[in-house]
Structure 1
Amino acid sequence: MSMIKQLWIATAIVALLALGGSLVVSTLSARHYLEQQLLVKNIDNANSLALSMSQMPKDPVTLELLVSAQFDAGHYEYIRLTDPDGGGLIERESTAPITEVPDWFSNLIPIDAAEGVAQVQDGWNQFGTLRVRSHSRFVYRSLWDGTLRLLQWFLVGAVACGLLGSLLLRRVVGPLNDVVQQAEAMGERRFLTVREPRTRELKAVVRAMNSLSERVRSMLEEESARLDAVRREAQVDGLTGLPNREHFLAQAAAMIADENAAAEGHLAVIRIPDLAAINAAQGREAGDAMLRRLADAIELLRGDDERRASGRLGGSDLALLVSGASDPVPLSEELFSAADIAIGRLVEEAGQTMPIGIAAYRRGDALSQVLAHADLALGKSAQNGDGRPVVENVDIENHPPADRLAWGEAIGAALAAGRLALKTFPVVHSDGTLLHLEAPARLKLAEDSEWLTAGEFMPWAARAGYIARIDEAVLERALAQLGDQPGGICINLSSESVCDPDTVRRLAAKLARHPGAGARVWLDLPESAAFKHGPAFRQICTVLKPLGCRIGLEHAGQYICRLGELHDVGLDYLKIGSAVIRGIDTNPGNQTFLRGLATIAHAMGILVIAEGVASDAEAAQLKTLGFDALTGPAIRVD
């Protein structure tokens, strides 16, 4: 039984005992008082009547008339006159029952007032003994009425005590509830701080728990800062602040090869011409400043768009990869304008033009081929001498339909016809057992068409406003598939759904209709949603986690060093993106970074899962780094 219930029961028992005891004592005191008053009345009446009889002639008729008159005028139980030997002379007795009060009351609280006794004289001789006893029914009625009034007042007092007790208990239990919630949050790996209550005992407990939360938060912040330093050393170019060549190529390979990535895109490379001559003529600092200004312009173009990646390929070459774009013209105009604003005047003063080469690709193209086309386009742009971008490999076929309206109609029809499926891939524990099945969505626009990956239809679904509907359909399909398999299933939710309270409520309602199924549902949420839409992310965790769902971040990497900010969320797992995982067996810098990341995550009770594991060597290395589970082309269930 909870402490709160015990407090309520204790309060109720104390109140009942106090009020009940007061009622009993008051009733018994009233009975005793009435008995004393009745005794005094009996004695007075007996003495008065005996005195009258003593002064009268003692003939039986006169005495009987006097006794009858007295009996009829008063409320007596009996009046008896006996001779000195105890023989009866005159007796009047009432046989009327007590009807003013319930029988149980008169039996429970009997009134036994002694009779009044007086001697009747005949001159100097004793004539007889007079015994008088008043009837108790009127005393019972007075006692009953008084008891009812007391009970009414006690009930009013009980209600008042209950209200006052509620206020007092609420004042005491409120901080206690905060302590309980804080303890439960810590059990769920959410380290919260709460306001210290005024209650001395609770204040000490809350202060200790707040101190623990602050220490954990400080530790996570310090470890995250160290981890970020390791990450920057391994992945970031020290001069420009862009990802270095190795990390950018890993990102590009993941974005091009991932079957859930966009179906097409462009890789742009921009070069500061003859950087060595600029360094020689103006000093190395001038050349470095040009690189930094151009890098800042490219980074500004990238922004927070997860479909874009930037990096320094080496020397004077900087790159920007944009997935999900079929038309290269907007990208070429953006790049040309940004580069011209950043360093166009400086390059012109040096008598040079900045070449820009753009390679168009389709998902699944070899990265080396895409780079070769970008290099070819870069060479052509340099030969042209006007600094205008050149695009190579633009013969990309688009999936029909080709416009937003047609895509929206096709997607809506496919959802209405139920042509949405989940393709499953195993996510395996480091010991080889199945953790869950990852289930990305597939959509068939027509009965005779091919299944499209999420990367192919989700951008169009976003433009047509179908994201929430697709996420809800994916959850329904996942819940239906749970009956056909013993383990858990993992689905993806979009940032749009995370940020839409109505969608979150509908998802929660669907889960609530399947009791017990929530514990087998794993939800991959975008990493960017956790850090760019913090309140909405915390809200979806608050709503869905009580239903048993496990919530984690997918494709984690860009913001992973801010993991400490999620100390109060209670994440269950992290899926590290393949851009960091690729080639991990030969990358000591990323090995150090991932080992530190696994340590921090485990300190928060979070599972660490690697995505896109492409070889047994990568899998073996990841296990030594402390990863809990793996998924990717090289992963199979034992």
Structure 2
Amino acid sequence: MPLSRQLVLSLFSIFLALFIGAVWISVSNTKNFIEQQLSSHAQDTATSLGMSITSYIGDKDMPLIETMVNAIFDRGYYSAIVLKDADGKVILERRNPVSLEQVPSWFINMFPLSPPVRVTELNDGWTIAGQLSVQSDPGIGYGQLWDNASDSFQLILLMFLVGLVLVWFLVRMITIPIMALVKQSEAISQQKFDRVELKPKTLELRIIVDAINLMSERLSDLFGRLTNQAERYRDFAYSDELTKVGNRRAFDLAFEQILSDAEHQTSSFLMFVRLSSLNQVNCNIGFLEGDAYIKTVSDLLSEHLNKQDIDFTLYRLNGGDFALIIEGIDEVTCLDLCQQLIDKCNAIEKSEYESGTAQIAAGSFNYGDRKKAILEQVDSALTQANFNPLKWQAVDKLQTVQSNDTWREKIKALLDKDTADFIAQPIKSFSGDEIYQEWFARFPEPDSKQHIPMAELIPATIRLDFSQKLDELLVRCAFTKLSSQSGTVGLNISRLSLLKPSFQHWFVTQLTQLGAQCSHLVLEIPERCLFSDTNNFLSFIVNVQNLGVKITIERFGAQIASVTHLRAIKPDYLKLDGRFTKNIHTEKDNQLFVHSLVDIAHGLNIKVIAVQVETAQEAQTLKDMQVDFVQGFFVGAPIALEC
């Protein structure tokens, strides 16, 4: 029960007891006073009337006695007047029934009046001539008692209500600052360091509010320094100082991670961009102009690539050499992109660039390829590009395997078949408990038992605008299988679909129909989603979370997502990018960086998952760094789900 309600109920109970007690005491005192008045009134009447009729007792003058008694009795203040002779025989009696029409019976039963009978002896000289008894009428007393009780009740009730209002305001004065402090404490636990702007009028509460605000400011500063330290370390270890893009070390880690990532096999391409005239500019004009040349081309590449709806990362390898890793596109898109980049570079060409602005080479690579062979092929193509009038050259094996028409027919047949297979890989704690399984979709060839290579299918669906329909098929099939699963399941959905309002609405509708099974679902979203239309995407994520679905941000660390975005989305899990966990037991720099990411995540109450864990040494190092869960061949290889 809330403190405010406890205070109100407690004070209400006290006030109610005071109210009842005050009314009871007031009425009881009035009752006693009225009974005394009735007794005194009866005694006075008996004495005065007795003295008046004493001389007429006997057979001397009864009519006169009756007249005198009637004169007193008819006034209505008496319930009985009885005259007896010396032998105790009643010689005159008058009685009046009690009339209580305006007084409730319950009140009479609760506060009964018992007017006493007062007796006086009638002396005729030295002898007792008779006895006169008088009893006052309680009806008038009940009326007075009821009126007094009503007036007392109304007055005390008014005071009671005024007191309750004052108590309510007092409780509000106390509880509003307390609730503000509670909310701030909850916000601090989620790394939201807002101030309590309310200034309580109560000195003690004001001191507490000031202390909490001071603590919030210091924690905000501490967490900000921690975040900045992680970002500075990432920049120092993995960013080029001049261009702010990834450096050679970052490229090596990312390239090796993709080549060894068995879970996320996708079509990937490597481009080399070489500034053809950098040596000439450095020698003829100076290194400052050379740096400006490098920065201009780097910004040009980044600006153009950011406008494309592709998953890319740009690196500066050394001097005037850049590398570009692009995932999830096909050969046609890659070749078109080469021409677009060359056109952009040619547009900024100057007379000082004697050998042209740049030359480009491109080659494809997939999971399992040898790093050295791929680098040699693309580097050889880069040399050939210098002699190519187009200024770009693709590795010889780059060619369109299937036409758009062929892919369109294949995808339509796949969608018409409306089925998908899944392979599952567990995510476990270091004690071996399974947290959830990540499901990877596989789509069978329409006319065979083979599965379509995802590295070819995904780029084709993007190019032909089928990605949303493919994701909808994946979700429908997964939800159908989910009902037969006892554990929790993680699903990957493409960034393109997740950012479309039409898909968001459709997905929330499907989750609503799924009902209670939503609590067994984890939605894995790429880190890049955090940088696109944040407000709309945040609203979608909140709707999904409200239905019971958990959220995982995957490939975390590749971009260092803004902590502000993480605070807003509040995911349940973060999956570290595989490039930082591979061989982490021997990579001191990666250990420092991952440790800082884990500290940030745990500060936000987010669990951390390490992926591509393949050896006991990697697992032990990650455990020592407080990583919560692991995924990879070390804890479980992907297995096909039974249909």
- TM-score exceeds 0.5: yes
What percentage of residue pairs aligned between the two structures are identical? 25
Q: How far, CA to CA, are the matches of 1:334 and 1:160 in structure 2?
A: 79
Return 352-361 or 503-512, whichever deviates more. Answer: 503-512
Pairing 1:345–2:356 present? no
Name which of structure 1's ranges 613-622 and 169-178 shifts more when overlaid on structure 2.
Answer: 613-622
Matching residue within 193, 196, 206 for 1:194: 196
Q: 1:51, 1:451 → 2: CA distance?
A: 129
The superposition leaves residues 102-160 of structure 1 with CA deviations (integer Å, 9 ceiling, x where unpaired) of 55432321223445666767799975453322221343245345545655666666566
Whether 1:236 aligns to 2:239 is yes
Aligned to 2:316: 312
Summarize deviations over 1:361-397 as a string: whole Å, max 9, x none.
5676555555444334433321124535657533243
Q: Which residue of 2 aligns with 1:608?
A: 608
Distance between the aligned counterparts of 1:162 and 1:201, measured in 2?
A: 23
Looking at structure 2, the residues matched to 203 and 547 of structure 1 have their Cα atoms a distance apart, in angstroms, of 39
Query: For residues 390-539 of structure 1, what are the structure 2 equivalents within 5 Å?
Result: 392-397=396-401, 417=418, 419-420=419-420, 422-442=422-442, 456=457, 459=462, 465=468, 473=476, 476=479, 480-483=483-486, 485=487, 488-492=488-492, 513=516, 518=519, 522-530=522-530
- How far apart, CA to CA, are the structure 2 residues paired with 1:504 and 1:53? 107
Which of 242, 254, 270 aligns to 1:267? It is 270
Contact 1:272/1:317, CA 8 A, preserved across alignment: yes
- Contact 2:277–2:355 (8 Å) recurs in 1: no
Q: Which residue number corresponds to residue 145 of structure 2?
A: 143
Cα distance in 2 for partners of 1:468, 1:86 equals 114
Query: Is 1:28 matched with 2:7?
Result: no
**TM-score between the two structures when normalised by the length of structure 2:** 0.79
Corresponding position of 2:580? 580
1:72-471 map, 5 Å: 72=74, 74-83=76-85, 88-94=90-96, 101=103, 103-115=105-117, 128-144=130-146, 147=149, 151=153, 161-162=163-164, 165-185=167-187, 193-198=195-200, 199-255=202-258, 258=261, 263-273=266-276, 275-303=278-306, 307-326=311-330, 327-342=333-348, 344-346=349-351, 348=353, 350-352=354-356, 354-360=358-364, 367-368=371-372, 370-387=374-391, 392-397=396-401, 417=418, 419-420=419-420, 422-442=422-442, 456=457, 459=462, 465=468
Please give the alpha-carbon distance, in whole angstroms, between the structure 2 residues aligned to 1:554 and 1:528: 9
Instruction: Give 1:594 shift.
Output: 2.3
**Aligned equivalent of 1:19:** 19
> Deviation digits for residues 238-284 of structure 1, max 9, x if unmatched?
33322122322432454566566584354332211253343222233
Distance 1:406 1:536 in 2: 33
1:521, 1:549 within 8 Å by CA — same for their partners in 2?
Answer: yes
Equivalent pairs counted in the alignment come to: 625
The answer to which of 220-229 and 388-397 deviates more is 388-397
Change (3 A) 1:396 1:202: farther
Q: TM-score, normalised by structure 1?
A: 0.80
Provide the C-alpha distance between the structure 2 equivalents of 1:173 and 1:381, rounded to a whole number of angstroms: 74
Separation in 1, partners of 2:264, 2:447: 23
Question: Partner letter of residue 386 of structure 2?
Answer: A
SS of 1:612's equivalent in the other structure is: coil
SS in 1 for 2:316: strand
Distance (Å, rounded) in 1 between the aligned partners of 2:446 and 2:156 = 77
In 2, are the aligned partners of 1:347 and 1:353 still within 8 Å (CA)?
no
1:410 deviation in Å?
6.5
Query: Structure 1, unaligned stretches of length 5 or more?
Result: none
Is the 2:269–2:325 contact (alpha carbons within 8 Å) kept by the matching residues of 1? yes
Partner Cα distance (1:155, 1:499) in 2: 62
| Partner SS for 2:398 | coil
The answer to whether the 8 A contact 2:190-2:567 is kept is no
Distance 2:64 2:447 in 1: 124
Instruction: Identify the range of structure 1 (89-98 vs 573-582) with the bigger mean alpha-carbon deviation.
Output: 89-98
Displacement of 1:90: 2.3
Partners of 2:408 and 2:45 lie apart in 1 by 111
Structure 2 gap ranges (5+): 638-643
